[in-house]
Amino acid sequence: MRALVLTEYNNFEILEVPAPAVVPGDVLIAVQACGICGSDVHGMDGSTGRRQPPIIMGHEAAGIITKVGAGVTDWKTGDRVTFDSTVYCGECVYCKQGRVNLCENRRVLGVSCDDYRQHGAFAEFVSVPERILYRIPDGVPYEHAAMVEPVSVALHAVSHVKSAPDDCAVVIGAGMIGLLIVQALRVKCCGQIIAVDVDESRLALATQCGAHHTLNPARIDVPTAVRARSHGFGADAVFEAVGANDTVSAAIESTRKGGAVVLVGNVSPKVDLPLQRVVTQEIRLFGSCASAGEYPRCLELMARGEIKVDSLISAAASLEDGAEWFKRLHARERGLMKVILKPTI
């Protein structure tokens, strides 16, 4: 099969490689669409150490089942499917609690690190265990289904806090995940959603996604502006989708007493914490990683048009053009959001 292989850091080649083996319990999927994730872009240059070459990356994918392994009963050839980016074991104490994102034996597709190498879906075929499969509803195209992973990250983030109709929520960082959190809050009927970003074009997208107000920290003090919009209290919940010193501080400073901060972004391994504020104001901090069981609900919301991913897809391209798109994403080209690679074109 053809595959886009990271042969060394910052270098891709289209190679002819053997199709993956279909072991018992697995299905073989002809990949129709696979999104380039930020983690792939950061992995390409070696900075995270989680894409050690050679590796076929790609974990946000959708396709058609072309072969089912021994023992697979619920799926057949021709089924349209998407799948979890995490191959969880289904056996460990966390999996048994349904917290599959915390699986003790988790492997992420398209990742190679010190512990394992698991080829992903920037290829004609990928093989995955049936337990991580989800059926794509009719009417949801493959490119949209390939976006279910980031959508699930957003739904999981908002699942940590209850939301009431008169609540004020702030989303810091209007990148892909931030924009999907805005939509997920909209679905939860959150009363007031404020999006924060330094990039005006992203703020415009946030408004399109359902944010009621936008704030640009380059021009305004965010905690002060949030308090002004929440009767002087601060936000009931703040979602931090960047993961840097200033943004984490702004998140905590913008939260009301007893409010919640959900930490999703993690570009920095460490940040300063306004400790006394967290302690004395009983601010609850939640870490939120990947998703745990949100896929079916996400696909349903996408099928109903309650979560829209159209405006977040910047381009669809062939595997051959993949290297070029990786370069453009790595250069942080303005206005670029999700790029989807399609091995069939």
Single residue of 15, 64, 89, 187 touching Zn ion by CB under 5 A: 89
Q: Cα-Cα-Cα-Cα dihedral of 49, 50, 54, 58, to 10°? A: -150
CA–CA dist 16, 56 (Å, integer): 12
Binding to Zn ion by residue 103, rule CB under 5 A?
yes
Smallest distance from Zn ion to CB 308, Å:
19
Binding to Zn ion by residue 194, rule CB under 5 A?
no
Name residues contacting Zn ion, limited to 17-56 (CB under 5 A). 37
| Site residue total, Zn ion (CB under 5 A) | 6
Binding to Zn ion by residue 340, rule CB under 5 A?
no
Smallest distance from Zn ion to CB 60, Å:
5
* Strand pairing class (26-35; 338-341): antiparallel
* Stretch of 8-16, 49-57, 83-91, 187-195 contacting Zn ion, by CB under 5 A: 83-91
CA–CA dist 268, 48 (Å, integer): 11
Smallest distance from Zn ion to CB 40, Å:
7
Binding to Zn ion by residue 170, rule CB under 5 A?
no
* Stretch of 84-92, 167-175, 265-273, 291-299 contacting Zn ion, by CB under 5 A: 84-92
Count Cβ atoms below 10 Å from residue 235 Cβ, excluding itself.
26
Single residue of 14, 30, 92, 323 touching Zn ion by CB under 5 A: 92
Q: Are 216 and 197 in contact (CB under 8 A)?
A: yes
* Token pair listed for 340: 């989807």
SS3 at position 313: strand
Q: Which amino acid is present at 300?
A: E
Of 250 and 309, nearer to Zn ion (C-beta) is 309
CA–CA dist 52, 186 (Å, integer): 39
* Stretch of 101-109, 172-180, 218-226, 294-302 contacting Zn ion, by CB under 5 A: 101-109
Helical pair 148-159 and 295-303, crossing angle rounded to 10 deg: 110
Binding to Zn ion by residue 225, rule CB under 5 A?
no
Smallest distance from Zn ion to CB 319, Å:
18
Q: Are 127 and 107 in contact (CB under 8 A)?
A: no
Binding to Zn ion by residue 289, rule CB under 5 A?
no
Question: Helices marked H in 146-273 — which ranges?
Answer: 148-159, 176-187, 200-209, 222-228, 245-253
Name residues contacting Zn ion, limited to 298-317 (CB under 5 A). none
- Positions touching Zn ion (CB under 5 A) are 37, 88-89, 92, 95, 103
